[in-house]
């Protein structure tokens, strides 16, 4: 019996050690896809984002979305792989902190674009983003407001609607809206973005609805996290993201009756998210529908190191959006 007890204790210790090692590995920079071969230069590195932290390191100013791009900024961003420049772009934000889009007069439609750096247009110039290309390709018949910030997820989308941040930034009467989702968004919505420690926290209640539950920094670690696992299971993360997006679609419909809302899914978004969204009546489109000949090499800047889209990819997305407006 003593031998069996010793064997059981050793197995338990080994299992805990393995779980902790797995958690450390999963949260390492290697798993996040970062590489010390990549560097960033330009004025972007001197400050572009604001977390609203006071002198004590507490987030006091941006409780709704956790962090924002700074307003009225014009910065250069030069990304290098080893010593090779893989993109050299400039970014401009307006007084609301969102990326500027060419102004138009007497537009027939008003499109809102939500999301993260894919919506913002990291790696491309102001006139090469999806938003700018929609305006150009429509010959000024469509006004666009870009409401995406690098590093955001579905939780910032819903939180920004609930706080009124987006509504204050919108000057046209919205007719259509698009949320562009990438695979990392399920993790971000669950609080696994290392840069997003002050971000808005949502949970799924007993009725399957996404409800605000403070911010990520206001909750302690769960037992799952203490032993090296994520707070939520993969299935729970998928349910959370889909519930947040569904709630956001309903909030958009409440704010702007008649608005048409679509979710664009880039490669890698879990099938469970798409299935749940479609089951809630949300219009879902995959990148393969949007860009039928899609490959990473043709449409991304420098895979497998830099996964942001090239201007040609944003042009294809712009074409697809315009097709939905017909």
Which pLDDT score, from 0 to 100, does residue 213 have?
97
Say how far apart CA 81 and CA 123 lie, in whole Å: 13
Q: What is the pTM of this model?
A: 0.89
Write down the residue that tokens 């989308």 correspond to: 157
Which pLDDT score, from 0 to 100, does residue 57 have?
75
| pLDDT(88) > 80 | yes
Question: Which residues are CB-contacts of 81 (< 8 A; sequence separation ≥ 6)?
Answer: 37, 38, 302, 305, 306
Long-range CB pairs of 1-9 (<8 Å, 24+ gap) are none
| pLDDT(325) > 80 | yes
Say how far apart CA 147 and CA 177 lie, in whole Å: 10
| pLDDT(245) > 80 | yes
Share of the chain above pLDDT 70, in %: 89
In tens, the pLDDT along 129-157 reads 999 999 999 999 999 999 999 999 999 99
Which pLDDT score, from 0 to 100, does residue 21 have?
41
- The mean of the pLDDT values for the chain is 91
Q: What is the mean pLDDT of residues 111-116?
A: 98
Confidence band for 84, pLDDT divided at 50, 70 and 90:
very high
Which pLDDT score, from 0 to 100, does residue 3 have?
55
Say how far apart CA 319 and CA 326 lie, in whole Å: 11
Among candidate residues 243, 280, 264, the one with its CA nearest the CA of residue 313: 264
| pLDDT(38) > 80 | yes
Which pLDDT score, from 0 to 100, does residue 22 have?
42
Supply the DSSP symbol for 321.
H
Which pLDDT score, from 0 to 100, does residue 97 have?
98
Write down the residue that tokens 């090692």 correspond to: 21
In tens, the pLDDT along 4-14 reads 555 455 444 44
Tell me the two tokens of residue 7: 């064997």
Say how far apart CA 277 and CA 284 lie, in whole Å: 7
Say how far apart CA 308 and CA 304 lie, in whole Å: 10
Among candidate residues 57, 264, 75, the one with its CA nearest the CA of residue 157: 264
Yes or no: say if 89 and 241 are a contact pair by the CB < 8 Å rule: no
Write down the residue that tokens 């393995």 correspond to: 18
Supply the DSSP symbol for 311.
H
Which pLDDT score, from 0 to 100, does residue 58 have?
78
Confidence band for 18, pLDDT divided at 50, 70 and 90:
very low
Which pLDDT score, from 0 to 100, does residue 297 have?
97
């Amino acid at each position: 019996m003593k031998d069996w007890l010793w064997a059981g204790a050793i197995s338990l210790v080994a299992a805990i050690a393995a779980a902790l090692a797995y958690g450390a590995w999963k949260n390492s920079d290697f798993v996040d896809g970062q590489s010390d071969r990549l560097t960033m230069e330009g004025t972007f590195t001197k400050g572009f984002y604001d977390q609203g932290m006071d002198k004590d390191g507490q987030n006091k100013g941006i409780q709704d979305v956790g962090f924002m791009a700074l307003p009225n900024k014009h910065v250069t961003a030069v990304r290098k792989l080893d010593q090779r420049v893989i993109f050299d772009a400039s970014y401009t934000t307006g007084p609301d902190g969102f990326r500027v889009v060419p102004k138009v007069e007497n537009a027939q439609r008003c499109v809102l674009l939500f999301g993260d750096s894919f919506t913002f247009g990291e790696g491309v110039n102001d006139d090469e983003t999806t938003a700018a290309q929609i305006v150009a390709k429509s010959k000024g018949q469509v006004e666009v407001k870009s409401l995406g910030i690098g590093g955001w997820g579905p939780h910032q989308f819903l939180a920004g609607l609930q706080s009124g941040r987006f509504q204050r930034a919108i000057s046209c009467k919205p007719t259509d809206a698009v949320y562009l989702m990438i695979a990392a968004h399920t993790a971000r919505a669950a609080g696994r973005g290392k840069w997003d420690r002050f971000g808005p926290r949502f949970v799924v209640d007993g009725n399957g609805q996404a409800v605000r539950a403070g911010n990520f920094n206001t909750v302690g670690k769960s037992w799952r996290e203490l032993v090296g696992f994520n707070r939520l299971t993969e299935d729970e993360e998928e349910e959370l993201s889909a519930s947040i997006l569904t709630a956001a679609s309903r909030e958009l419909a409440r704010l702007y009756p008649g608005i048409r809302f679509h979710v664009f899914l880039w490669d890698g978004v879990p099938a469970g998210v798409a299935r749940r969204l479609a089951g809630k009546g949300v219009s879902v489109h995959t990148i393969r529908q949007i860009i039928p000949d899609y490959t990473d090499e043709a449409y991304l800047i420098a895979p497998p190191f830099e996964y942001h889209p090239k201007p040609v990819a944003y042009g294809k997305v712009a074409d697809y959006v315009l097709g939905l407006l017909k």
